[in-house]
Amino acid sequence: MKLATSFYFILILVLVSRLASAETIQIDFTPDDSYSVEVAKIDIGDTIEWLPKNEGHNVEFLAGPNMNSLPKKSELNAFYSVTFSLPGVYLYHCTPHGNMGMLGLIVVENDFHNLEDIKEIELSRIAKSVLQRLIRIAQLKS
Ligand SMILES: [Cu+2]
């Protein structure tokens, strides 16, 4: 009983400290058909907000650590927000401009365990080369 109590106490401490340090990163849709932040490295519990500063864009997840439950696709021109709870790499694009290379990469907890799955996603030639660039940036940035 005593052990269980201290376990829950520690668990609550961990959760509270996580919440206290949870961050929100804002990413704009830009007039250049890109995301203002292409590579975001975050921790579990952090939130990313996409701001429709330019018209005609959205956020559609293509891959993530749990392929069976990716965040849902956002509406065009809409504010969108996702809080991340699983470590790994997430790839998203803009539905209308993904083929032109409007991609974004999110790495949660600097965990690249599913990078090979990300690399296997079918993309246009331009998007593929953008993805390679984003992966290099993500691996340099720590
Ligand atoms: Cu777009």
The tokens for 17 are 């400290």
- The string of pLDDT tens digits covering residues 2-49 is 777 776 766 666 666 666 689 999 999 999 999 999 999 999 999 999
- The string of pLDDT tens digits covering residues 113-135 is 999 999 999 999 999 999 999 99
Dist. CA 119–CA 101, nearest whole Å: 15
Rounded to the nearest angstrom, the distance between the alpha carbon of 78 and the centre of ligand 1 is 12
Rounded to the nearest angstrom, the distance between the alpha carbon of 3 and the centre of ligand 1 is 53
Dist. CA 119–CA 122, nearest whole Å: 8
Rounded to the nearest angstrom, the distance between the alpha carbon of 118 and the centre of ligand 1 is 20
Rounded to the nearest angstrom, the distance between the alpha carbon of 12 and the centre of ligand 1 is 41
Q: How many CB atoms lie within 10 A of CB 7?
A: 10
Q: Is 119 helix (H, G, I), strand (E, B) or coil?
A: helix
Q: Is 96 helix (H, G, I), strand (E, B) or coil?
A: coil
Provide the whole-model pTM.
Answer: 0.86
